[in-house]
Amino acid sequence: MSTRRPGLFEPRAIGQMAPATKILLYTILIVWAAFVLFPIYWLLITSVKTPAAVNQGPFFLPFIDFEPSLHAWKELFVIDYEDTLRAYMNSIIISLSATALSVLVGSMAAYALSRVDYAPNLITILYFVALLAGVGVAVGIYDVDWMLATAVAVALFFLLARAVGRIYEVRLGNGDILFWIISQRILAPIVVVVPIYMMFQSVRLLDTHLAIILTYAVVNLPIVVWLMYDFFNSIPRDLEESAQIDGATMIGTFREIILPLSRAGLAATTLLVMILSWNEYLLALFLSTTKAQTMPILVAAMNAGERGVLWWTMSVTIVVMIIPVVVLAVILQKYITKGLLVGAVKG
Amino acid sequence: MNEWLDRHMGRLFLAPAVTLILIFSIFPLVASLILAFSRLRLRGGGFTMRWVGFRNFEKQLFGSEQFHLLGTFTTVSILGWIVGLAGTGLLIWWMVRYARTRFHWVGFLGRMITFGIAVGLLWLFCATLLSGNPFGTVGTTLFYVFVGCGIQFLIGTALAFACSQKLRGRTTFRVIFFVPMMVTPIGVGYTFRMLADVTKGPFAGVWQWAGLGDFAWATDPWAARIFITVADSWQWIPFVFIMMLAAFESVPRDLVEAGDLDGASPWQSFREITWPHVMPIAATVMLIRAIEAFKIVDLPNIMTSGGPGIATESVSLQAYYAWRSLDLGQASAVAYILLFVTVVICVSFFNLVVLSRVRAQK
């Protein structure tokens, strides 16, 4: 028996990696980590550079290559603080409220879909859509007063819905409703934003928090329903059944039993929706001008002027935008992974 | 009262979500369709609408905006003809095979729509890119979707596989790799603009050394497109990575170890055990990523404003610019074309890839 030294590409023992493979893997991971971190590092050091230090060419190391200064931070948070702080507060208010609304409404719907059997009639739905289109055509093209048109449509719907529904009994199930809600995510915001803009304009809500909060909540609703549906489905039903025997209502069960049990799923969903609303750009561009301006809009507006992009102040605004989300995400990373995966594996 | 509440509680739980979606999604969808068929004039605080039928779509697809949306069609090169005809032949063969084996009219109709879009996009590809003609926003968006998502999927999956091995410190790598997903797209756009600066950016030395000291990537169509793709990939590879990592970790370890004992090479065990297990998740991840990629608008808007010319403009951006010039009819028509292409491609992918994998597993 000759004891041959194992080659670089051969594992030393079963279930272990060969040294060469290990080195290769580490190289890949470290190179990628550098690629991921370098832009963020560059942002951080640019935020403490003076305009001169930026314009004279690339300097990499603070204190060695260049003398760091907080002038850009001062400019944004001491001298010109009104715009920055307003946008920052707007962003916080909007993303928190939109997330709360979206998670509340979405998880209620998800819970209902996972526990109650629905059987909406397809013909009634088609009838409803036809009425909706009719209202749109009447208001848009024939200049009918929109309140009148809506009232007529509502009356027609309630008068004839049952009669129409009886013609064909084609029932949809919970799966169809779920698919319908989730499929709203395919909708590019650009398709719906123009009518939403006109709608808020007609009720004079443009450039208010409420308009943006409502829009963000709806845009993110499909994600909440999708993630929470799978989460609720994985909770065993015995607890609720015994509570129901004790006379608990659906709201009571939902609040006392289900919500506490699904904390992990709620954390993941909340964080995801919060990040999405915090970073959202296109919808805010349409719906806000000054008062309700959010951070992404402020950053874009600041740099669109005549002076070109001022790298130092731009870096500061982006750094203050990423810090809270990155901190939250790193702390809660485990939950996000879990939450996302539940949706992907089963959905 | 209480009894009524109890009986209808199920509906009341679902009602807020459905109402919100009806108001903010379905109603705008219908309104947008009506807008797409009309011309809007703003007039003293209000606006007037006039029904113009298909004229908005006509202008986009065949008229003066054709170069913008689809591209310029002058001549089709020989290569374009060959690829176009071969591709069309293949698609016809696919349709005929379906019609012969298991015909169902719903399936046939769905495949007919897929077929139509596929042939249209194929010829678009042949008549512009393969013939050396400039292509429009649809082509650019598809470039972002297919090339961008392809790259993101390959790199994200590779990284996830590397990170799923038994390595020390992989938790740290995992946290680091996750970070770009949190950065606002606006921030990604500006940061990459800063990094790409040939005189003040960190790679200025490299540019000078390569003799590209006065090269402006923003004026070269392909350089600009690739640059946007790089920034987009930086942001979205983490998403693919996280999902695929979880997928790799859900592969039963004893199966892989049993394979090792039986003397399977790493490649064999990856192909025969790991890949079939993660394939359904991979398909779903790709679908989610593609759906989001069709909406791309922030990065081209921030990094290049759609330029040079229209080289990096996505369909969403085109619709946004149309809205900004108060041409709401055109904006809605463009947006609807995007919606149609997105829905057909995503639903086809879902039906033909995701569902067929699920069916095959059962």
* pLDDT value, residue A8: 63
- Tell me the shortest Cα–Cα distance from B93 to chain A, in angstroms: 30
Instruction: Find chain B residues with C-beta within 8 A of A60's C-beta.
Output: 202
The pLDDT assigned to A146 comes to 75
How many interface pairs between A and B have CB atoms less than 8 angstroms apart?
290
Query: Distance between CA atoms of A257 and A240, rounded to whole angstroms?
Result: 7
Q: Determine the structural domain holding residue A190 and report its residue range.
A: 81-117+174-346
A141 to chain B: which residues are within 8 Å by CB? 34, 38, 49-51
pLDDT tens for A147-199 read 888 888 888 888 887 777 677 777 888 888 888 888 888 888 888 898 898 88
Contact criterion met (CB < 8 Å) for B202 and A58: yes
A239 is a domain residue = yes
Instruction: Give one word for B65, left, alpha or beta, with left for phi > 0 and alpha for psi -120 to 50.
Output: alpha
Q: Are residues A182 and A270 in the same domain?
A: yes
User: Which stretches of chain B score pLDDT less than 70?
Assistant: 1, 42-47, 213, 357-362
Of residues A217 and A331, more confidently modeled: A217
- Whether residue A346 has pLDDT greater than 50: no
Measured CA to CA, the distance from residue A61 to residue A67 in angstroms comes to: 9
* pLDDT, position B89: 92
Residues of B in contact with A339 (CB under 8 A): none
- Mean pLDDT within A263-285: 88
Residues A264 and A203 in one domain: yes
CA distance B38 to A98: 33
Q: Which pLDDT belongs to residue A12?
A: 58
Tokens of B90: 């293949």
Query: Could you tell me if A220 and A325 lie in one domain?
Result: yes
Q: Mind listing the pLDDT tens digit for each residue in A278-315?
A: 999 999 988 988 888 899 998 888 887 767 788 888 89
C-alpha span between A287 and A322 (Å, rounded): 23
In chain B, whose CA is at the least distance from the CA of A247? Answer: B6
Assess contact for B31 and A133: CB atoms under 8 A.
no
Are the beta carbons of B168 and A25 closer than 8 angstroms? no
Read off the pLDDT of residues A121-160 as tens digits, 9 standing for 90 and up: 888 888 888 888 888 778 766 777 778 888 888 888 888 8
Q: What is the pLDDT of residue B315?
A: 92
* Closest to A337 in 3D by CA, of B103, B231, B163, B331: B163
B residues 67-96 lying closer than 8 A (beta carbon) to A: none
* H-helix or E-strand spanning residue A174: helix A174-183
Q: Lowest-confidence range among A318-322, A333-337, B73-77?
A: A333-337
Tens digit of pLDDT for each residue in A43-79? 998 888 888 878 777 777 877 777 788 888 888 888 8
For residue B332, give Cα distances in angstroms to A138, A346, B57, B141, B193.
19, 35, 10, 17, 30
Q: What integer pLDDT is reported at residue B272 of this predicted model?
A: 84
Count of the separate structural domains present in chain A: 3
Asked if A196 and A283 sit in the same domain, the reply is yes
Residues 6+ apart with CB under 8 A from B61: B69, B70, B337
Residue A11: band (very low, low, confident or very high) from pLDDT cuts 50, 70, 90 = low
Return the C-alpha torsion angle B317, B323, B327, B332, nearest 10.
70
The answer as to whether A11 is a domain residue is: no
For residues B268-292, one letter each, b for 16 or more C-beta atoms within 10 angstroms of the residue's C-beta and e for the rest, the string is: ebbeebbeebbbbbbbbbbbbbbbb
The beta-strand segments (E) located in chain B are 38-43, 46-51
Residue A289: which residues within 8 A CB-CB, separation 6 or more?
A206, A207
Q: In this structure, what token pair is assigned to residue A261?
A: 């049990």
Nearest to A214 among B24, B181, B194 (CB): B24
On whether both A107 and A142 belong to a single domain, the answer is no
A147 and A229, same domain (yes or no): no
The average confidence (pLDDT) of chain A is 83
Does residue A162 share a domain with residue A180? no
> What ipTM was reported for this prediction?
0.86
pLDDT tens-place string over residues B125-169: 888 888 888 888 999 999 999 999 999 999 999 999 888 888 888
Chain B nearest CA to A195, separation (Å): 5
Residue of B nearest to A46 (CA): B194
Q: Do A103 and A246 fall into the same domain?
A: yes
Answer whether residue A9 is part of any domain. Answer: no
**Distance (Å, whole) CA A38 – CA A43:** 9
**What local confidence, expressed as pLDDT, does residue A347 receive?**
41
Both structure tokens of A299: 């950053």
Q: Is A12 within the bounds of a domain?
A: no
Nearest-angstrom CA–CA distance, B116 and B92? 10
Cβ separation B167–A129 shorter than 8 A: no
Q: Write down the CATH superfamily of domain B134-361.
A: MetI-like (1.10.3720.10)
Are residues A321 and A181 located together in one domain of the fold?
Answer: yes
- On whether residue A67 sits in a domain, the answer given is yes
List the CATH number of the domain containing A212.
1.10.3720.10
Which residue in chain B is spatially nearest to A277 when comparing CA positions? Answer: B184
Q: Is B43 helix (H, G, I), strand (E, B) or coil?
A: strand
> Can you tell me the distance from the alpha carbon of A247 to that of B14, in angstroms, rounded to the nearest whole number?
22
Residues A106, A239, single domain; the answer is yes
Residues 6+ apart with CB under 8 A from A231: A110, A262, A265, A339, A342
pLDDT of residue B90: 92
- In DSSP terms, which residues pair with B48 in a beta bridge? B41
Read off the pTM. Answer: 0.87
A147 and A199 within one domain: no
